[in-house]
Amino acid sequence: MCGIAGYVGSRVVRDILIAQLKKMEYRGYDSAGLAVVGGGGIHAVKVVGHVSALEQESINQWLPGNCGIGHTRWATNGRPSTKNAHPHTTSKVAVVHNGIIENSDELKVFLESNGYSFEGETDTEAVAKLLDFYYDGDPMIALNKVAKRLKGSFALGILFFDATDAIYALKKGGPLIIGLCAGENFLSSDINAVLEYTTRYYVLEDDEIAIIKKDHVEVFDAQGVQLSKTENVADWKADLIDKQGFSHFMRKEIFEQPQVVTNIILENIRDGIPDFEAAGVSDEYLKRFKRICIVGCGTARYAGLVGKNWIEHFARLPVDVVMASEFRYQNPVLFADTLVVLISQSGETADTLAAARLVKDRGISSVGIVNVKGSNICREVEHVIFTQAGVEVAVASTKAYIAQLSVLFLLSLKLGFVNGQLAQDRIHSLCNQFIDLPEILRQVLREKEAEIQKLAQACVEYESIFFLGRGLDYLLALEGALKLKEVSYVNAQAYAAGELKHGPISLITDRLLVIALVTQEAVKEKIINNLREVTARCGKVRLLFKAGMQIPADLIEQSLQLPALEDFLMPFLVAETLQLLAYYSACAVNANVDKPRNLAKSVTVE
């Protein structure tokens, strides 16, 4: 992984490929390359580093032709180097690849026995040389033979040296779309990369092969039967992938959160009650379930943990939250009365997608909470509730997390209502408070940003940071610590405050900062007692607490007070505050805020 680009048409192909790759820089990568077919062969340029370096390196290169492919690579097999960068080429073919070829070692042995040698360390090089081995003038025959030998996940863009007017694409696993336009067509792993040129596109399904020419596109199934594809139209614009005056995408997306919550309100509340009928999730459907299983990775899983708290409280249904990367390997126990909720911003997260397919194969009901329409998870689950967050560019997820929390909060209320656990007046009260939430989120951004920035300056002066909380606050602490680690590289850990004395308290010194979340009335006194244990050992404490709480004066120094909401709604304010804290901490250490090192936006391999 990370980004695939392709263009065939009448424009200067290098310029279009560079523009596409720049649109995918937000996904995270360590090297980049492109290849153009024409002038009697395939001409490739590859660099370690940014697309801007590729742009400079390719300026004076001879790149004849109007058909080409490009790639930004996030290292999986093999370190960042020009030899490992894509495209991988032979005299016959050029290949870009997202995914992992699980049997690449076996293929290399086969190819070496047939006279091939390998320069780099990647699995993709084996794909290129396997295609070279099988190619005898007919691309479709070669592609079908290769597809039968590859194991793992792969989205491939391919050039053949003697097919100067066509890009070939092959998919099993990762996302791949074909952008459609009069007189030119595009290949990409990300719809955002082609929105400048077109909003029309095809989605390639698993085991499909595409031939992309400037004036037409043909798609075939694994048996070679030509398919009639459904044309999709993207419902967002290219100008959404613009900072619009903000210094970073991350800050812009934090400031978009009030509107995201408003979008979810408009889509999913009717007559003062949550309503998911538009997503096919009816009251009758939800009444069938006696237990819930939530599956996700990273931030999505942390959203699921908050959702578990809400669902168990409001609906009195048991909820399991499972890491997607562990889900299928633990042989999960799933009953017919279980609803599996799969959460993914991109809808392409490899482990979550694999979990969705396992659930489908077992005949268990599933709902996706997804941001990207047309993504793979959307096609594997029974129903999809879209998060209405729009394009999220920064690698660290912010508005998508708030959107996931919003959907889970409304879903928990709906489950409580249909199961007779929430009276109508109570659900109306909670929904009305939720409807007021966007303005309160704006208030925090407007009135607290300077204080948050000051606290962030203090954060980066410490060797380590503990986030402490109880109940919902602990679940928010997990996400807060993750955000800080992701973008500022500060060593941050989250603990349930009651667990402090069961080991982690040994790390408390005057070189450690504790950020304590105190917004839940029922456990306020308990966590204050835990903080006394910290200050007694010279640990430094900063609080995020709810207005109106009586907090001992010695704990108030440099602490931050948030507007008072009902306890169940405080996670939204805490999440927004901790996102800004991470953002300003990253700024304080001059980190690459939108593209943190070693991270990718959409993790499409295991």
Strand order in the sheet with 217-220: 88-89, 93-101, 152-160, 167-172, 208-212, 217-220
Q: Which of 274-283, 366-375, 591-600 has the lowest mean pLDDT?
A: 591-600
Chain centre distance of CA 569: 24
pLDDT: which is higher, 508 or 146: 146
Confidence category of residue 556, pLDDT binned at 50, 70, 90: low
- Is the separation of the CB atoms in 371 and 389 below 8 Å? yes
User: What is the number of other CB atoms lying within 10 angstroms of the CB of residue 426?
Assistant: 14
SS3 content of the chain, % helix, strand, coil (to 5): 40, 25, 35
What are the structure tokens assigned to 258, written together?
A: 């009030």
Report the SS3 class of residue 470.
Answer: coil
Q: Domain residue spans in the chain?
A: 2-240, 245-435, 438-591
DSSP 336: T
DSSP 281: B
The reported pLDDT for the residue numbered 555 is: 75
The reported pLDDT for the residue numbered 594 is: 84
- The residue-averaged pLDDT of 149-170 equals 93
Based on the number of CB atoms within 10 Å of its own CB, is 289 exposed (0-12), middle (13-18) or buried (19 or more)? Answer: buried
Based on the number of CB atoms within 10 Å of its own CB, is 262 exposed (0-12), middle (13-18) or buried (19 or more)? Answer: middle
Distance, in Å, from the CA atom of 334 to the CA atom of 509, rounded to the nearest integer, reads 45
- Packing angle, helices 399-418 and 299-314, rounded to 10: 20
pTM of the predicted model as reported, rounded to 2 decimal places = 0.78
Chain centre distance of CA 372: 10
| Those residues with Cβ within 8 angstroms of residue 565's Cβ, 6 or more apart along the chain or in another chain | 433, 437, 440, 546, 572, 573
The reported pLDDT for the residue numbered 583 is: 95
The reported pLDDT for the residue numbered 121 is: 85
Report the SS3 class of residue 113.
Answer: coil
Distance, in Å, from the CA atom of 494 to the CA atom of 503, rounded to the nearest integer, reads 13
pLDDT: which is higher, 604 or 550: 550
Quote the percentage of the chain above a pLDDT of 70. Answer: 96
* Domains 245-435 and 438-591 equal at CATH topology level: yes
- Is the separation of the CB atoms in 499 and 467 below 8 Å? no
Please write the tens of the pLDDT for every residue from 211-262: 999 999 999 998 889 999 989 888 765 555 678 888 899 999 999 999 999 9
Distance, in Å, from the CA atom of 520 to the CA atom of 523, rounded to the nearest integer, reads 6
The reported pLDDT for the residue numbered 238 is: 53
For 554-588, b/e burial (b = at least 16 CB within 10 A) is: ebeeebbbbebbebbbbbbbbbbbbbbbbbbbbbb
Alpha carbons within 13 A on the beta-carbon side of 436: 12
Asked whether the predicted pLDDT for residue 508 surpasses 70, the reply is yes
The reported pLDDT for the residue numbered 212 is: 97
Asked whether the predicted pLDDT for residue 405 surpasses 80, the reply is yes
The closest of 386, 412, 407 to 292, measured between CA atoms, is 412
Distance, in Å, from the CA atom of 327 to the CA atom of 296, rounded to the nearest integer, reads 9
What are the structure tokens assigned to 582, written together?
A: 């991470």
Quote the percentage of the chain above a pLDDT of 90. Answer: 63
- Is the separation of the CB atoms in 159 and 42 below 8 Å? yes
Return the CATH number of 2-240, one of 3.40.50.300, 3.40.50.1970, 3.40.50.150, 3.60.20.10.
3.60.20.10
Confidence category of residue 140, pLDDT binned at 50, 70, 90: very high
Q: Report the length, in residues, of the chain.
A: 606
Distance, in Å, from the CA atom of 38 to the CA atom of 163, rounded to the nearest integer, reads 9
The reported pLDDT for the residue numbered 343 is: 96
The architecture in CATH of the region 438-591 reads 3-Layer(aba) Sandwich (3.40)
- The residue-averaged pLDDT of 71-77 equals 79
| Those residues with Cβ within 8 angstroms of residue 207's Cβ, 6 or more apart along the chain or in another chain | 147, 171, 172, 221, 222
Asked whether the predicted pLDDT for residue 531 surpasses 90, the reply is no
Asked whether the predicted pLDDT for residue 293 surpasses 80, the reply is yes
Confidence category of residue 595, pLDDT binned at 50, 70, 90: confident
Distance, in Å, from the CA atom of 49 to the CA atom of 46, rounded to the nearest integer, reads 10
User: What are the C-alpha distances in Å from 576 to residues 212, 258, 399, 442?
Assistant: 44, 10, 9, 10
- DSSP bridge partners of 170: 156, 209
Asked whether the predicted pLDDT for residue 310 surpasses 70, the reply is yes
Q: Which amino acid is at 427?
A: I
Asked whether the predicted pLDDT for residue 282 surpasses 90, the reply is yes
Provide the Cα torsion 472, 260, 561, 518; round to 10°: 0
- What value does the mean pLDDT of the chain take? 90
What are the structure tokens assigned to 250, written together?
A: 């991350």
- The residue-averaged pLDDT of 385-410 equals 93
The reported pLDDT for the residue numbered 30 is: 84
Please write the tens of the pLDDT for every residue from 350-393: 899 999 999 999 999 999 999 988 788 988 999 999 998 888 88
Distance, in Å, from the CA atom of 515 to the CA atom of 318, rounded to the nearest integer, reads 31
pLDDT: which is higher, 118 or 603: 118
Distance, in Å, from the CA atom of 34 to the CA atom of 96, rounded to the nearest integer, reads 9
| Those residues with Cβ within 8 angstroms of residue 430's Cβ, 6 or more apart along the chain or in another chain | 413, 422, 566, 568
Which residues are marked as active site?
2, 601
The reported pLDDT for the residue numbered 27 is: 67
Confidence category of residue 480, pLDDT binned at 50, 70, 90: very high
Please write the tens of the pLDDT for every residue from 10-69: 999 999 999 999 888 776 678 899 999 998 899 999 998 888 889 998 888 888 889 999
DSSP string, 550-601: ---GGG-TT-EEE----GGGHHHHHHHHHHHHHHHHHHHTT--SSS-TT--S
Peptide bond into 87 cis (omega under 30): yes
Distance, in Å, from the CA atom of 308 to the CA atom of 236, rounded to the nearest integer, reads 32
pLDDT: which is higher, 177 or 512: 177
Q: Which of 45-59, 67-81, 158-172, 206-220 has the lowest mean pLDDT?
A: 67-81
**Which region, left, alpha or beta, applies to residue 282 given φ > 0 means left and ψ of -120 to 50 means alpha?**
beta
Distance, in Å, from the CA atom of 216 to the CA atom of 234, rounded to the nearest integer, reads 20
Distance, in Å, from the CA atom of 466 to the CA atom of 516, rounded to the nearest integer, reads 8
The reported pLDDT for the residue numbered 147 is: 93
Asked whether the predicted pLDDT for residue 510 surpasses 70, the reply is yes
What are the structure tokens assigned to 455, written together?
A: 């606290």
Confidence category of residue 548, pLDDT binned at 50, 70, 90: confident
pLDDT: which is higher, 580 or 61: 580
Q: Which fold has domain 245-435?
A: Rossmann fold (3.40.50)
SS (H, E, C) 146-169: HHHHCCEEEEEEEEECCCCCCEEE
